[in-house]
Amino acid sequence: MTVIVTGGAGFIGSNFVFHMLKAHPDYRIVCVDKLTYAGNLSTLESVMNNPKFRFCKTDICDREAINKLFEEEKPDIVVNFAAESHVDRSIENPEIFLQTNILGTSVMMDASRKYGVKRYHQVSTDEVYGDLPLDRPDLFFTESTHIHTSSPYSSSKAGADLLVLAYYRTYGLPVTISRCSNNYGPYHFPEKLIPLMIANALADKPLPVYGKGENVRDWLYVEDHCKAIDLIIHNGRVGEVYNVGGHNEMKNIDIVRLICKELGKPESLITYVTDRKGHDMRYAIDPTKIHNELGWLPETKFADGIKKTIKWYLDNEKWWKDIISGEYQNYYTKMYGNR
Ligand code: NAD
Ligand code: DAU
């Protein structure tokens, strides 16, 4: 089996590469990544010399390069993680989100059609469902919840999902889609809530909480997401969408307080800043379908996962310090300077 994994130098994609090489040692894993600001080759250092692994620095929007790669590799399965993934950046500059997330998806699916790929899997997000009100804890996103997006990021992901389903119906491309809740764990880029708060707290810098910090996210340890995708690409039904989430809803402010506690830092570092435009209130996944059909259940409890994650950031300071010492400084000043 040859599996093309796009976006494998990013957060979830790299964890998926590690998972696949371990879980399926006889598979060949080909990582396609443009190495944008969010992609880091150092993340893949431990597998670079693995004979079952190949890295290709390629843009998924580059049709010619992608076709050439498919011609060489003749992949059985394609898993498309590659995306612009940060909501705040999409509010600043939507265009690249449309290019990579929608056009890039179409390039990957055209190549998958042309070379007879047995499964094309699209890694999507619970953000395509919009948000839920805080005062209705009985409501959850199911696979039949209407698409209702808030940010340019989530709209681009929803656009891609619709295109994937259209390729299934129109061309019979054997597709599946997973829509997962917020992930956390090793190699999470420090522009996102949990790693940003860990990095800032360790440097005794302010912890910028948007609005009142009341927004709720449904956190899942990244390995559990990887295991869900592994199950879907092998046993999931073609043409189907699977929601992935672990019923672990938490308010942002509670996460930040917990990080302070774990690191022995004072809560006085918490600083309330101007809210994100169009900020989604609450995400909450109903994972009944993937549980009933594929037997998936999250294995890592949040209390353990957050400890493991904090330990990983303490043990791997070089990885994130290299990132935050570069271009990230300009990003941080632009996004947080006048907030
Ligand atoms: P990330 O930003 O950490 O990584 C994205 C990777 O894609 C990077 O390595 C980047 O270099 C690469 N990339 C970007 N544009 C590319 C292009 N044009 N061609 C090739 N490679 C390109 O993202 P992530 O958090 O790991 O998310 C991965 C996927 O999972 C995304 O599709 C995202 O929408 C989805 N998702 C993320 C979460 C989450 O909590 N992080 C939850 C649900 C779904
Ligand atoms: O739900 C899945 C989505 O989760 C993925 O599709 C996205 O790719 C991923 O980035 C994530 O989106 P969020 O917007 O939920 O994640 P983020 O870490 O950016 O923010 C989490 C919450 O924390 C959100 O309510 C905004 C808030 N926040 C974030 C940052 C970066 C703050 O309060 N302060 C911050 O500095």
- The 10s digit of each residue's pLDDT in 285-316 is 999 999 999 999 999 999 999 999 999 999 99
pLDDT at 327 (0 to 100):
87
Shortest-distance atom of ligand 2 to CA 279: 25
Q: Is 95 a catalytic residue?
A: no
Gap between the Cα atoms of 182 and 159, Å rounded: 20
Q: What region, left, alpha or beta, does residue 211 occupy, with left being phi > 0 and alpha being psi -120 to 50 degrees?
A: left
Catalytic residue among 153, 184, 187, 313: 153
Q: Does the beta carbon of 151 sit less than 6 angstroms from any atom of ligand 2?
A: no
Q: Is 304 a catalytic residue?
A: no
Amino acid identity for residue 74 in this structure = K
With a threshold of 0.95, does the pTM exceed it?
yes
| Ligand (nearest to CA of 42) | 1
Dihedral sign (CA 139, 144, 149, 155) = positive
Residue nearest to atom 6 of ligand 2 (CA): 125
Gap between the Cα atoms of 316 and 12, Å rounded: 17
Give the ranges where 115-235 is alpha helix by DSSP (H).
152-171, 193-202, 222-235
Fold of 2-187+220-248+278-301: Rossmann fold (3.40.50)
pLDDT at residue 48 greater than cutoff 90: yes
Amino acid identity for residue 275 in this structure = D
pLDDT at 326 (0 to 100):
85
Q: Does the beta carbon of 11 sit less than 6 angstroms from any atom of ligand 1?
A: yes
Gap between the Cα atoms of 127 and 148, Å rounded: 9
Residue 66's pLDDT band, with cuts at 50, 70 and 90, is very high
